Chain A
Amino acid sequence: MTDNKTSKEQKYDRQLRLWGDHGQETLENAHVCLINATATGTEILKNLVLPGIGVFTLVDGHKVSGEDVGNNFFLTSSSIGKNRAQAATELLQELNSDVSGNFVEESPDKLLDNSPEFFHRFSLVIGVQLPESTYLRLGSVLWEAGVPFLICRTYGLIGYMRLIVKEHTVVESHPDNALEDLRLDQPFTELKHHVESYDLDNMEKKDHSHTPWIIVVAKYLEKWYSEHNSQLPKNYKEKEAFRKLIREGILTNENGTPEDEENFEEAIKNVNTALNPTKVPSATEDIFNAEQCENITSQSPSFWVIAHGVRDFVRNEGNGKLPVRGTIPDMIADSDKFIKLQNVYRDKAMKDAAVVSKHVEALLQSVGKPPESTSEQEIKLFCKNAAFLRVVRCRSLAEEYSADTFNKDEITSCMDSTDSEMVLYLMLRSVDRFYQQHSRYPGVYNYQVEEDINKLKLCVNSLLQEYSLNVNVKDDYIHEFCRYGAAEPHTVAAFLGGSAAQEAIKIITHQFVPFNNTFLYNAMSQTSATFQL
């Protein structure tokens, strides 16, 4: 191991515990484009540079102003008048010598005019404090190119994020309450044989109390089957009865009192989860039935190729079941018994993954791709997480903005409840309308606040009218948004910078499930909500 690798391991130790070294590797290979080094923008970048993103490119045509220096930690008064992208890049770069930073002293609009393909190269584009016309243009370019786009905006005491990604696949979704994959309801042959190798009735006390609980449950399940028509204990009463059956198996001492057998206690405790029927979760089933899984071409991403391979496995060798995950939880048992049991599951998982590999290989061949275009490791990781796969599909900005396809139901049903964060969305759309008409946001000059309130009100009404929305926006919000004067208070920017960077890391690492598709934060009430728009 090189020194560099060791020092990285040390530096990133606390985050490797969240996304692993392969997550770190994807992060280090990513190239993120961030547009506009405002307070929100530099906060996001800071939170991406620190954990060690590979490369960033800052795009900003603005010059540093006094106001910028007042709310932005990465701009100093000596940088006033300089290009903002350049000034911020210098200081952000200091945060982490492993990250390389570029800057482009150009406005995104100019880049879109001259060479829209400039944006195709990035793993992710983050647009901060952009005018509506710019993010709509950029949104359609990126949508066509298949580059994920994250829009972030701090507007007074409101935070807004919108994620636009056509299709984002997640193998490691890190579910909170994942059940173990033990197959006790449908044991595979090797597991059956292994269970048979135990004879709980003729065992030394020490061995008896060091038999893994999985074996204990499997043994008593056989007993249960013989008395219950080969049916699993299903409801509460039956499970209670099954627990009782296990409890009766605890050895007793010469006085007839039960011994302390922790493995049996574990078995009893785990009855609920252990007897969960093995089935393909509906989210995974949906993935199997998706068109992208059905029609594999030489262009198909490896996620879909492997998904197809797993589907073939499920429909053939797997007899309707996913590949065995191959891990078991820690439990009371002596090393020898534990390792043997663990190996039973692990070996089966390897075997299943090998079968999946064969399917994948055949599939690749059929579309004229070399077998090495997916790695063994990738397939193993996929099989291990087959029950937790996720595909996130966001609606495009075009769909959100078109009067034919906008999500009217979501908007109207949310607006039914008082003070839903949905009103903030409508207000942001209204201030954008204001900007379009007046080339400035409402309330930026104190002397204009009063007249701006009326103008903004007109914008709200015309927005509602255009979309035939029969909802009520309280005047309070119009006043409030005028009062904001499009300011970007640092604390709100800091909050949004943390949230946005976290979502960016999810997108880049393909781990954890990103939000879909609109996030709104109200700093005054400390509430937030997500909507699908």
Chain B
Amino acid sequence: TEVPTMAQLVGPLRKELADSLFSCRVLVVGAGGIGCELLKNLVLTGFKNIEVIDLDTIDVSNLNRQFLFQKKHVGKSKAQVAKESVLRFCPSANITAYHDSIMNPDYNVEFFRNFQLVMNALDNRAARNHVNRMCLAADIPLIESGTAGYLGQVTVIKKGQTECYECQPKPTQKTFPGCTIRNTPSEPIHCIVWAKYLFNQLFGEEDADQEVSPDTADPEAAWNPADAAARATASDQDGDIKRVSTKEWARSTGYDPVKLFNKLFKDDIMYLLTMDKLWKKRKAPLPLDWTEIQQIESSQEEACGTGLKDQQVLGVQGYTQLFRRSVETLRSQLIEKGEGAELVWDKDDPPAMDFVTAAANLRMNVFSMNMKSRFDVKSMAGNIIPAIATTNAVIAGLIVLEALKILNSDFDQCRTVSLRSQSNLMCTRPLYVQIEDGKGTILISSEEGETEANNNKFLSDFGIRNGSRLQADDFLQDYTLLVNVIHSEELEKDVEFEVVGDAPDKAPAPSAPEEGKNIANGNKDSAQPSTSSKAAAEDDDVLIIDSDEEPSSSTMEASPESSNRKRKHHDADDAASKRKRLDQQPADDDEDIIALD
């Protein structure tokens, strides 16, 4: 029997919109955390023709939130299983599943033009960039989304009407110079990256960019050529293993854990020590020796940290044992797979993760760093972003609401919605404050991290002085606010700035794009500071930006639709990134901001 899918929606939704859901065709890119929720929401909202693509297969760690999958599905195609599960519940939907990468050239502009709407439910930037470009080329509206722990965001992208995904530069994923990884690691992450490279060198696909042995070409070591030649000869005579590939050598030893250990943590380190220039300013590494470690009494080894085994930090001996065990397991996996087989590193594969944990920690020890638990190494090695069902559910709900607006052609009503701390909503539009200096220098941006570097600077560093004009732009509705900065000597004590003029509470129509507004010191008419420049005046005409106010949050409070009743929350962090953020954002008291009359 046909189920009255839209029965309840016809009330709140307009009839013609409800009808259009039956005929339109949409593409969902990704069938993971957001994707599962999204597919469910789409069919229950009345969307009939849905195509879904995902190249991934199901892993155990998906099951805490990707509810279309069960244990029996582990290892199968996400897109295919998602389709089958949805059809089991909603047999009337017409779903096509592709177990493939959206970046495959088969999915060309023509393919994208088959759809009225594309929704991203992706987990990586490369694919997001790609879909963004394809949608722009095909002129198909795109809804972009993402979650991380308790945080999430939904953005509508429509050619010619909104910013696109790549309009604003995103922070690039951190990469490290080869010689830092190979010769002079100074942070745990360097050792973790090295250990992942090592896994590939030994068991996986060899990659020339992932060398793990000492880098003799390190410019910092700067030997004189004769010296280097002598060294090269000497190592040749030692039968130095660098002459053959690491993998071949490892294979020739039968993946003997002791030989591997002594090469990696003793011989290679001794070799590094001969590059003495490297250690003039650094603490030199301390080689480890297999035999010596075996002699440590295990009672001396104290496991630190409480709770799960994963969260404990073992000692050198513990990691040495883990190294041996994991090498043995991986060796037998390799043998099982047959001649010429390769393993693929996966953070959720226990022996692979054990190997990286052990190797990274041993290297951390060699370079006098504080060792890390398996749990922490996994976070860093796998770029793990915490993920829960609740955030995905909220974000997927928001995506469909935006989708309905798009199908209704209400682009001016589309919002960028950000889910902030601990499931509290904060709604805003993209907003930037730039200086009218002809160069368009951006002072404050709602894009997280983009203008963080400006936080500690003075306005004068940007050439802002009496008479300067700042322009706050709201992209989605072509709304501009001009702020005239006027210097004054007559501020009361502790008054940092004053805003003169009425803050418009509603955005004007696009035909009237400018609203003048003055910030002046010394005027007693203090209005609500609705601009985002948290500035403070000093007697020498210098202004600095408040360092404990995050630009994004202040701009959000200034956005027209947020009232003072909205919950204001700092960004939530997942526990893992908290420490880093503290450094960037000292929560200091306001004495730091100066200000004086």
Using a CB–CB cutoff of 8 Å, the interface residues on chain A facing chain B are 1, 7, 9-18, 20-22, 39, 43, 46-47, 50-52, 66-67, 69-74, 76-77, 91, 94-97, 156-157, 174, 176-180, 205-206, 209-210, 234-237, 239, 259-260, 269-270, 272-273, 276, 329-330, 332, 334-336, 338-339, 377, 414, 417-418, 420-422, 443, 483-485, 487-499, 501-503, 505-506, 512-513, 515, 521, 523, 525-531
Are B41 and A67 in contact, CB atoms less than 8 angstroms apart? no
B114 at the interface (CB under 8 A from A): no
Are B565 and A498 in contact, CB atoms less than 8 angstroms apart? no
B291 at the interface (CB under 8 A from A): no
Are B89 and A336 in contact, CB atoms less than 8 angstroms apart? no
B369 at the interface (CB under 8 A from A): yes
- CA distance in complex: A146, B36 (Å): 37
Using a CB–CB cutoff of 8 Å, the interface residues on chain B facing chain A are 1, 3-9, 11-13, 37, 40-41, 44-45, 60-61, 63-65, 67, 70-71, 88-90, 149-150, 186, 281-283, 306-311, 348, 365, 368-370, 375, 378-379, 384-398, 400-401, 404, 415, 417, 421-425, 427, 505, 547, 561-563, 565-567, 569-576, 578-579, 581-583, 585-589, 591-594
Once A43-B393, A70-B8, A499-B390 are accepted as A-B contacts, the answer to whether A528 and B566 lie under 8 Å apart by CB is: yes
Top 10 nearest A-B pairs (CB, nearest first) are A498-B393, A495-B397, A498-B394, A494-B397, A490-B44, A177-B587, A502-B423, A528-B425, A17-B386, A502-B390
Our pick among B283, B348, B579 for the contact of A10 (Cβ within 8 Å) is B348
- CA distance in complex: A468, B396 (Å): 41
B370, B390, B424, most chain A CB atoms within 10 A:
B390
Once A276-B588, A498-B423, A527-B425 are accepted as A-B contacts, the answer to whether A487 and B9 lie under 8 Å apart by CB is: yes
Are B393 and A76 in contact, CB atoms less than 8 angstroms apart? no
Once A50-B65, A176-B572 are accepted as A-B contacts, the answer to whether A414 and B388 lie under 8 Å apart by CB is: no
Q: In the complex, which residues of chain B have a beta carbon less than 8 angstroms from the beta carbon of A484?
A: 11-12
Q: In the complex, which residues of chain B have a beta carbon less than 8 angstroms from the beta carbon of A74?
A: 89
Our pick among A13, A17, A332, A530 for the contact of B567 (Cβ within 8 Å) is A530
Q: In the complex, which residues of chain A have a beta carbon less than 8 angstroms from the beta carbon of B565?
A: 414, 417, 420-422, 529-531
- CA distance in complex: A70, B370 (Å): 56
19 new A-B contacts, CB < 8 A, other than A66-B3, A527-B425, are: A10-B60, A16-B375, A18-B149, A51-B388, A69-B3, A70-B8, A77-B1, A176-B581, A180-B582, A206-B281, A206-B283, A236-B592, A260-B281, A377-B306, A495-B393, A497-B393, A499-B390, A530-B424, A530-B567
Our pick among A10, A177, A529 for the contact of B563 (Cβ within 8 Å) is A529
Q: In the complex, which residues of chain A have a beta carbon less than 8 angstroms from the beta carbon of B421?
A: 176
Are B396 and A70 in contact, CB atoms less than 8 angstroms apart? no
Are B3 and A14 in contact, CB atoms less than 8 angstroms apart? no
Rounded to whole Å, the gap between the CB of B427 and the closest CB of chain A is: 5
Would you mind naming 23 contact pairs between A and B with Cβ atoms under 8 Å apart? A10-B60, A13-B384, A14-B385, A17-B386, A50-B65, A70-B3, A70-B44, A71-B9, A77-B1, A156-B11, A174-B422, A174-B575, A176-B569, A236-B593, A487-B11, A489-B13, A491-B45, A491-B404, A499-B390, A502-B150, A502-B394, A505-B390, A526-B398
Chain B interface mostly helix, strand, loop or mixed?
A: loop
Q: In the complex, which residues of chain B have a beta carbon less than 8 angstroms from the beta carbon of A47?
A: 389-390, 393
Q: In the complex, which residues of chain B have a beta carbon less than 8 angstroms from the beta carbon of A95?
A: 67, 70
Our pick among B7, B307, B394, B566 for the contact of A22 (Cβ within 8 Å) is B307
Q: For residue B423, which residue of chain A has the nearest CB? A: A502
- CA distance in complex: A21, B306 (Å): 10
- CA distance in complex: A95, B70 (Å): 7
Our pick among B5, B575, B585 for the contact of A17 (Cβ within 8 Å) is B575
Our pick among B3, B63, B401, B591 for the contact of A77 (Cβ within 8 Å) is B3
Q: In the complex, which residues of chain B have a beta carbon less than 8 angstroms from the beta carbon of A50?
A: 63-65, 67, 389
Are B11 and A17 in contact, CB atoms less than 8 angstroms apart? no
Are A417 and B592 in contact, CB atoms less than 8 angstroms apart? no
Are B576 and A21 in contact, CB atoms less than 8 angstroms apart? no
Q: In the complex, which residues of chain A have a beta carbon less than 8 angstroms from the beta carbon of B41?
A: 490-491, 494
Are B7 and A17 in contact, CB atoms less than 8 angstroms apart? no
Q: For residue A75, which residue of chain B has the nearest CB? A: B89
Are B4 and A97 in contact, CB atoms less than 8 angstroms apart? no
- CA distance in complex: A61, B368 (Å): 65
Rounded to whole Å, the gap between the CB of A214 and the closest CB of chain B is: 14
Rounded to whole Å, the gap between the CB of B32 and the closest CB of chain A is: 11
Q: In the complex, which residues of chain B have a beta carbon less than 8 angstroms from the beta carbon of A71?
A: 5, 8-9, 44
Q: In the complex, which residues of chain A have a beta carbon less than 8 angstroms from the beta carbon of B379?
A: 17
Are B422 and A502 in contact, CB atoms less than 8 angstroms apart? yes
- CA distance in complex: A15, B308 (Å): 14
Are B579 and A329 in contact, CB atoms less than 8 angstroms apart? yes
Q: For residue A449, which residue of chain B has the nearest CB? A: B11
Are B3 and A273 in contact, CB atoms less than 8 angstroms apart? no
Are B582 and A177 in contact, CB atoms less than 8 angstroms apart? yes
Rounded to whole Å, the gap between the CB of A192 and the closest CB of chain B is: 24
Rounded to whole Å, the gap between the CB of B494 and the closest CB of chain A is: 12
- CA distance in complex: A94, B3 (Å): 23
B37, B375, B425, B565, most chain A CB atoms within 10 A:
B565
Rounded to whole Å, the gap between the CB of A216 and the closest CB of chain B is: 16
Once A71-B44, A530-B567 are accepted as A-B contacts, the answer to whether A487 and B390 lie under 8 Å apart by CB is: no
Our pick among B44, B401, B575 for the contact of A523 (Cβ within 8 Å) is B401
Are A335 and B370 in contact, CB atoms less than 8 angstroms apart? yes
Rounded to whole Å, the gap between the CB of B587 and the closest CB of chain A is: 4
Once A46-B67, A209-B281, A526-B417 are accepted as A-B contacts, the answer to whether A10 and B309 lie under 8 Å apart by CB is: no
Our pick among B368, B401, B423, B505 for the contact of A503 (Cβ within 8 Å) is B423
- CA distance in complex: A51, B365 (Å): 36
Our pick among A20, A417, A487 for the contact of B12 (Cβ within 8 Å) is A487
- CA distance in complex: A182, B517 (Å): 45
Are A273 and B582 in contact, CB atoms less than 8 angstroms apart? yes
Are B400 and A491 in contact, CB atoms less than 8 angstroms apart? yes
Q: In the complex, which residues of chain A have a beta carbon less than 8 angstroms from the beta carbon of B385?
A: 14
Rounded to whole Å, the gap between the CB of A514 and the closest CB of chain B is: 9
Rounded to whole Å, the gap between the CB of B397 and the closest CB of chain A is: 3
Are A9 and B64 in contact, CB atoms less than 8 angstroms apart? no
- CA distance in complex: A157, B11 (Å): 10
Q: In the complex, which residues of chain A have a beta carbon less than 8 angstroms from the beta carbon of B571?
A: 176
Q: In the complex, which residues of chain A have a beta carbon less than 8 angstroms from the beta carbon of B45?
A: 489-491
Rounded to whole Å, the gap between the CB of B170 and the closest CB of chain A is: 22
Q: In the complex, which residues of chain B have a beta carbon less than 8 angstroms from the beta carbon of A21?
A: 307-308, 311
Q: For residue B38, which residue of chain A has the nearest CB? A: A494
Rounded to whole Å, the gap between the CB of B215 and the closest CB of chain A is: 21
- CA distance in complex: A259, B280 (Å): 12
Our pick among B12, B394, B566, B570 for the contact of A529 (Cβ within 8 Å) is B566
- CA distance in complex: A505, B423 (Å): 11
Q: In the complex, which residues of chain B have a beta carbon less than 8 angstroms from the beta carbon of A443?
A: 11
Once A334-B283, A487-B12, A506-B422 are accepted as A-B contacts, the answer to whether A15 and B427 lie under 8 Å apart by CB is: no
Q: In the complex, which residues of chain A have a beta carbon less than 8 angstroms from the beta carbon of B422?
A: 174, 502, 506, 512-513
Are B561 and A525 in contact, CB atoms less than 8 angstroms apart? yes
Are A14 and B423 in contact, CB atoms less than 8 angstroms apart? no
Q: For residue B92, which residue of chain A has the nearest CB? A: A77
Q: In the complex, which residues of chain A have a beta carbon less than 8 angstroms from the beta carbon of B415?
A: 525-526
Are B11 and A485 in contact, CB atoms less than 8 angstroms apart? yes
Q: In the complex, which residues of chain A have a beta carbon less than 8 angstroms from the beta carbon of B404?
A: 491
Q: In the complex, which residues of chain B have a beta carbon less than 8 angstroms from the beta carbon of A97?
A: 71
Q: In the complex, which residues of chain B have a beta carbon less than 8 angstroms from the beta carbon of A235?
A: 591-592, 594
Rounded to whole Å, the gap between the CB of B175 and the closest CB of chain A is: 20
- CA distance in complex: A451, B424 (Å): 38
Q: In the complex, which residues of chain A have a beta carbon less than 8 angstroms from the beta carbon of B573?
A: 176
Our pick among A67, A260, A528 for the contact of B427 (Cβ within 8 Å) is A528
Q: In the complex, which residues of chain B have a beta carbon less than 8 angstroms from the beta carbon of A512?
A: 422
Q: In the complex, which residues of chain B have a beta carbon less than 8 angstroms from the beta carbon of A505?
A: 390
Q: In the complex, which residues of chain A have a beta carbon less than 8 angstroms from the beta carbon of B1?
A: 77
Are A70 and B423 in contact, CB atoms less than 8 angstroms apart? no
Rounded to whole Å, the gap between the CB of B451 and the closest CB of chain A is: 19
Our pick among B11, B37, B67 for the contact of A483 (Cβ within 8 Å) is B11
Once A501-B390, A502-B423 are accepted as A-B contacts, the answer to whether A527 and B582 lie under 8 Å apart by CB is: no
- CA distance in complex: A304, B13 (Å): 51
Are B386 and A14 in contact, CB atoms less than 8 angstroms apart? yes
